[in-house]
C-alpha cells in the first residue's frame, strides 16, 4: 500500500513536466558588472531523484558552480548536502552505500536491539492497546533511522542557523498539511529541513515544527524555481521541469520506480547521460559566465564532531516518565566536543531497549555560548501491547501465538510479558524484567517457561515409538549489557521434564520418565546479525556453563510389570550432584555478494554424569535444548556430549525468495572421558572418536520466502543414519 501511495504521489507531482512555461533565454537578458548568479533547482521524485547526482557530476566537470540551490524531497537531500560542501563523489558514495530500505522503514537494526528484547522482536504483529482495546499498528514510517542519518551527514553545519551561510546558499520546501501552504526552510536545522521535505503523506510521519505539520513539498511546489529566483538567481538550471528555466535537463526516468532504491546507480547514470546530452548548451553557459569577473570558491572543511555546551530533552505529550533513564545513559558530556557516531551509538543503545517509540536528536544554537544545545526528541513507547502471530511446522503442527506486554508498570524501565502458544503442542512463557535503577546496562529477570513437544522414534521412516514431553523451567538472574548486542548472565533455575509414552517402543519401555534439576548458570552471548531472519552478515555466538546442584531422574515401571512383581518400587531413581555442562553455539554469515551468503554454524556440548539434555535433528528447531541437523527428523537423538558443524550457501534468486543448501557433520559421545578409548573397548564403543559409528553426516536443500506472515520454507534432507528422506515445512514466526 505504501508503494502504491508513493507511485500515485509521484505521478501527480510529475504530471506538469510538459505543461510548463516556455524556456527563458538568458542570453537575451543584459547583465552588467558582477557575474550573473546561477541557480540550480532540483525537483522531488523519490529514488528517481538520485539522478540529480549524475547531473551535478557533469556541472562539476565543466566548472559550473551554482550560486544558489533549491530543492524539494529527494532534491532537498541531494541539493542540501551539495550546498554544504559535499563533492559529487561523496554524494555518489553516500547514495550508493546507504541501505535505503533500512532507513525508509520502521524496522530497527537488529544488531542494535537489546539482547533481552531480541527474542520477541519481529516474532509478532504488535497492536498498541489504548483503554484496554487493541488498535491497528502504526503504518506510516516514523523516520527514526533516516533522521539519525541526516543529523550525522549535516553535523558540520550544526552551528549554522542561516542556510545563507552554507558553502552555497540553499532553500528546502515543505508543506504545512494543516493549511496547505508551502514552508520554505531558510534557517535552522538542515537535517530537519531535509526530513520535512521528504515526508510523503500517509507514507511517512509528518514533522511537528512551530505549530505546523510538515510533509513533502512536492504536494504544492515540487520544483521550487521561484524560491531560487527570489534568492537572487539570474540564470536557472532546472532538472526535471521546464518552468522558468534557462537550461532544462530531463533524465529519462519514466521506466523507473520512485520507490525502488535498488536502482540508484542506474538513476545516477541516467542523470549523467541527460546532462551530457546538453553538453553544448552547458559549454556555452560556461563560456558566457567566464566573461564576467569570477568569485573565489572557498574550500570546505568537514567536521565530524561538534562542541556541545548544553542539552535538552523534549518529550512528546510532556511524558517524562523515562527522563532519568535518558539522563543516565546518553553518550555525550556537556562542555565537550562530541562525535556524531558517539551520539548515534548512545541513541541506538537507548532505543534498543524498546522503551521508546522514537528517539532522535537535533541541534539548536546556544546564544550564551559558542557551542550548540543537543536536543533529544523523545516519544515513549506505548505501555500496553497485544501480540499475535501464526506458526506451522511439520513437527509442531499449526499454532497461534498470542501475548501481552506491559511496560513501565510500577517501575519505570520494567517489562512484563506473557506469551501463549495455542496448539496441539502448547507453550507458555511469562517474564518479568526490569533495568536496575537508572542504568540500562544492568537488568534482572524472573521467568517461567513451559513447552510441550513430541519425541518420535523411527525405523527408517516408520514410527515405532513416541513420547510426549512437558518441559517446565523457573529461572531468575542478573544481566549485564555492555552493548546492545551482548549479554553476560548469571542466574539459577529449576527444570522439570516429563516424558509420557504415547506409542510403545518395545515390549518393555518406561511409560513415564521425570527429570528434575536445579542449577546455577553463567553465559555470555554476542549477536551482531543484521537481521533476525535471512541474515546477510554478522555473528551470533554463546558460551554457557551450568553447575547442577542436584539431578534426579525417575523411570516409572510399566503397570503390568508392577502387577507381576508387587514388591517392585514404582520407579527407578538416579540422583547425582555437582554435574557440569558446558555448551557453545556459533553462527556466522558472510556476504559473498549482494545475493549470495556463506553460512557457518557450530554446536558443541560436554557434560559429566550422563546429562542427556540435548536433542538433535530438524532444520527449524526453536528450543535452546535443540540442535538442528539436516537429514534427521526433529528430536531424533538425545545426547549428553557432541559436536556438530554445518556449512551452507544461501542465494536470493528473486527478491525475498531464497534457495539454500547445507551439509553437516556430527559426532556423539556417551561419556566425554572415553572419547580417546579404543572403539573395541567397552568404554569407547559409544564415545570413541575412532569409531565411525559415532559420526553422522547429512545435508539438504531449502526453498524459502520472506513473507508478511513470517518465513515460509520447504526443505528436503537426508542423513547417513538411514535411507529415509525427510521433508520439513514451516510458515510463520517462532514462539
Predicted pLDDT of residue 6:
45
Q: Distance between CA atoms of 523 and 488, rounded to whole angstroms? A: 6
pLDDT tens digits, residue range 332-379?
A: 888 889 998 999 999 999 999 999 999 999 998 887 777 899 999 999
Asked if residue 598 lies in contact with residue 589, where contact means CB atoms within 8 angstroms, the answer is: yes
Max alpha carbon distance in the chain (Å)? Answer: 119
Asked if residue 576 lies in contact with residue 551, where contact means CB atoms within 8 angstroms, the answer is: yes
For the purposes of burial, counting CB atoms within 10 Å of the CB of 460, is it exposed (0-12), middle (13-18) or buried (19 or more)?
exposed
Predicted pLDDT of residue 20:
38
Asked if residue 731 lies in contact with residue 709, where contact means CB atoms within 8 angstroms, the answer is: yes
H or E, element range at 116: helix 115-118
Q: Distance between CA atoms of 445 and 477, rounded to whole angstroms? A: 6
Q: Distance between CA atoms of 158 and 370, rounded to whole angstroms? A: 12
Asked if residue 673 lies in contact with residue 688, where contact means CB atoms within 8 angstroms, the answer is: no
Predicted pLDDT of residue 22:
38
* Number of residues assigned to the chain: 735
Q: How many Cβ atoms from other residues are within 10 Å of residue 593's Cβ?
A: 7
Predicted pLDDT of residue 145:
92
What pTM was estimated for this model as a whole?
0.87
Asked if residue 735 lies in contact with residue 391, where contact means CB atoms within 8 angstroms, the answer is: yes
For the purposes of burial, counting CB atoms within 10 Å of the CB of 508, is it exposed (0-12), middle (13-18) or buried (19 or more)?
exposed
**156 DSSP assignment:** G
C-alpha cell at 642: 557432541
Predicted pLDDT of residue 32:
62
Topology of 306-380 in CATH? Ubiquitin-like (UB roll) (3.10.20)
Q: Distance between CA atoms of 511 and 504, rounded to whole angstroms? A: 8
**Residues in a beta bridge with 421:** 401, 427
Predicted pLDDT of residue 12:
44
Query: Of 73, 423, 553, 713, which one is the catalytic site residue?
Result: 73
Domain map of the chain by residue range?
A: 36-106+142-290, 306-380, 384-732
Predicted pLDDT of residue 666:
96
Asked if residue 309 lies in contact with residue 369, where contact means CB atoms within 8 angstroms, the answer is: yes
- Cα 155-160-165 angle, rounded to 5 deg: 120
pLDDT tens digits, residue range 626-656?
A: 899 999 988 888 888 999 999 999 999 999 9
216 catalytic residue (yes or no): yes
Query: Of 67, 176, 205, 216, which one is the catalytic site residue?
Result: 216
Asked if residue 363 lies in contact with residue 310, where contact means CB atoms within 8 angstroms, the answer is: no
Instruction: Please provide the DSSP assignment of 580-635 as one string.
Output: EEEEEEEEEEEESSSSEEEEEEEEEEEESS----EEE-BSS--STTEE-BTTS-TT
| Weakly modelled stretches of the chain, pLDDT under 50 | 1-24
Over the range 120-136, which residues count as b (16 or more CB within 10 Å of their CB) and which as e? bbbbbbbbbbeeeebee
Residue 611 C-alpha from the chain's centroid:
37
Q: Which CATH superfamily is domain 36-106+142-290 in?
A: Cytosolic phospholipase A2 catalytic domain (3.40.1090.10)
- CATH among 3.30.70.2860, 1.25.40.10, 1.10.3720.10, 2.40.160.50 for 384-732: 2.40.160.50
Interhelix angle 190-197/74-83, nearest 10 degrees: 160
Residue 209 C-alpha from the chain's centroid:
28
Predicted pLDDT of residue 696:
95
Predicted pLDDT of residue 25:
61
Q: Distance between CA atoms of 621 and 405, rounded to whole angstroms? A: 25
Using the structure block, give the residue that is written with the C-alpha cell 540564470: 235
Amino acid at each position: 500500500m505504501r508503494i502504491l501511495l508513493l507511485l500515485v504521489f509521484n505521478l501527480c507531482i510529475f504530471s506538469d513536466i510538459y505543461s510548463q512555461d516556455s524556456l527563458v533565454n538568458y542570453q537575451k537578458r543584459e547583465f552588467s558588472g558582477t557575474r550573473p548568479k546561477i541557480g540550480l533547482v532540483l525537483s522531488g521524485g523519490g529514488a528517481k531523484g538520485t539522478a540529480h547526482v549524475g547531473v551535478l557530476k557533469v556541472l562539476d566537470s565543466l566548472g559550473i558552480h551554482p550560486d544558489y540551490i533549491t530543492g524539494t524531497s529527494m532534491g532537498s537531500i541531494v541539493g542540501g548536502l551539495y550546498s554544504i560542501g559535499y563533492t559529487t563523489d561523496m554524494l555518489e558514495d553516500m547514495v550508493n552505500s546507504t541501505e535505503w530500505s533500512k532507513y525508509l522503514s520502521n524496522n530497527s537494526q537488529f544488531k542494535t536491539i537489546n539482547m533481552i528484547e531480541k527474542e520477541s522482536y519481529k516474532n509478532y504483529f504488535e497492536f498498541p492497546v489504548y483503554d484496554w482495546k487493541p488498535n491497528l499498528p502504526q503504518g506510516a514510517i516514523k523516520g527514526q533511522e533516516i533522521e539519525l542519518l541526516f543529523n550525522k551527514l549535516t553535523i558540520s553545519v550544526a552551528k549554522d542557523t542561516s542556510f545563507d551561510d552554507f558553502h552555497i546558499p540553499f532553500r528546502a520546501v515543505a508543506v504545512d498539511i494543516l493549511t496547505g501552504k508551502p514552508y520554505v526552510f531558510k534557517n535552522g536545522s538542515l537535517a530537519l529541513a531535509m526530513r520535512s521535505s521528504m515526508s510523503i503523506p500517509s507514507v511517512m510521519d509528518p514533522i511537528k515544527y512551530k505549530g505546523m505539520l510538515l510533509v513533502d513539498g512536492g504536494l504544492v511546489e515540487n520544483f521550487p524555481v521561484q524560491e531560487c529566483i527570489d534568492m537572487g538567481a539570474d540564470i536557472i538550471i532546472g532538472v526535471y521541469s521546464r518552468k522558468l528555466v534557462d537550461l532544462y535537463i530531463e533524465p529519462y526516468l519514466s521506466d523507473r520506480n520512485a520507490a525502488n532504491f535498488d536502482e540508484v546507480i542506474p538513476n545516477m547514470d541516467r542523470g549523467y547521460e541527460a546532462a551530457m546530452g546538453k553538453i553544448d548548451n552547458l559549454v556555452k553557459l560556461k563560456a558566457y559566465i567566464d566573461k564576467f569577473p569570477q568569485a573565489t570558491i572557498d574550500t570546505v572543511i568537514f567536521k565530524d564532531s561538534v562542541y556541545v555546551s548544553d542539552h535538552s530533552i523534549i518529550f512528546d505529550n510532556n511524558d517524562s516518565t523515562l527522563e532519568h533513564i535518558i539522563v543516565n545513559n546518553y553518550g555525550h558530556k556537556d562542555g565537550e566536543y562530541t562525535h556524531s557516531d558517539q551520539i548515534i551509538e548512545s541513541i541506538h543503545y537507548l532505543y534498543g531497549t524498546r522503551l521508546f517509540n522514537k528517539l532522535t536528536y537535533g541541534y539548536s544554537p546556544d546564544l550564551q555560548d559558542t557551542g550548540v544545545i543537543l536536543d533529544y526528541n523523545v516519544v515513549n513507547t506505548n505501555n500496553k501491547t497485544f501480540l499475535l502471530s501464526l506458526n506451522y511446522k511439520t513437527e509442531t503442527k499449526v499454532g497461534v501465538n498470542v501475548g501481552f506486554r506491559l511496560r513501565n508498570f510500577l517501575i519505570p524501565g520494567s517489562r512484563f510479558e506473557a506469551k501463549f502458544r495455542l496448539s496441539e503442542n502448547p507453550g507458555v512463557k511469562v517474564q518479568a524484567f526490569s533495568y536496575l535503577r537508572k542504568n540500562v546496562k544492568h537488568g534482572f529477570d524472573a521467568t517461567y517457561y513451559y513447552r510441550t513437544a513430541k519425541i518420535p522414534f523411527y525405523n527408517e521412516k516408520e514410527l515405532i515409538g513416541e513420547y510426549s514431553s512437558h518441559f517446565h523451567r523457573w529461572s531468575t538472574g542478573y544481566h549485564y549489557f555492555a552493548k546492545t548486542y551482548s549479554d553476560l548472565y548469571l542466574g539459577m533455575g529449576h527444570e522439570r521434564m516429563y516424558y509420557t509414552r504415547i506409542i510403545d517402543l518395545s515390549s518393555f519401555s518406561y511409560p513415564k520418565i521425570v527429570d528434575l534439576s536445579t542449577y546455577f548458570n553463567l553465559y555470555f552471548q554476542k549477536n551482531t546479525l543484521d537481521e533476525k531472519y535471512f541474515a546477510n552478515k554478522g555473528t551470533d555466538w554463546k558460551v554457557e556453563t551450568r553447575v547442577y546442584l542436584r539431578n534426579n531422574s525417575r523411570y516409572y515401571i510399566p503397570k503390568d510389570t508392577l502387577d507381576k512383581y508387587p514388591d517392585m518400587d514404582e520407579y527407578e531413581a538416579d540422583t547425582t550432584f555437582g554435574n557440569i555442562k558446558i555448551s557453545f553455539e556459533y553462527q556466522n554469515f558472510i556476504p559473498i555478494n549482494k545475493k549470495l551468503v556463506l553460512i557457518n554454524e557450530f554446536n558443541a556440548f560436554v557434560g559429566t554424569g550422563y546429562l542427556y539434555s540435548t536433542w538433535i535433528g530438524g532444520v527449524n528447531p526453536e528450543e535452546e535444548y535443540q540442535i538442528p541437523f539436516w537429514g534427521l527428523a526433529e528430536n531424533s537423538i538425545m545426547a549428553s556430549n557432541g559436536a556438530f558443524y554445518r556449512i551452507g550457501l544461501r542465494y536470493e534468486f528473486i527478491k525475498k525468495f531464497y534457495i539454500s543448501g547445507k551439509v553437516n557433520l556430527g559426532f556423539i559421545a556417551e561419556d566425554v572421558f572415553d572419547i580417546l578409548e579404543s572403539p573395541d573397548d567397552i568404554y569407547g564403543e559409544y564415545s570413541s572418536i575412532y569409531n565411525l559409528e559415532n559420526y553422522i553426516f547429512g545435508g539438504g536443500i531449502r526453498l524459502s520466502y520472506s513473507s508478511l506472515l513470517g518465513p515460509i520454507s520447504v526443505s528436503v534432507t537426508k542423513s547417513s543414519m538411514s535411507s529415509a528422506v525427510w521433508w520439513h515445512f514451516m510458515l510463520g514466526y517462532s514462539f
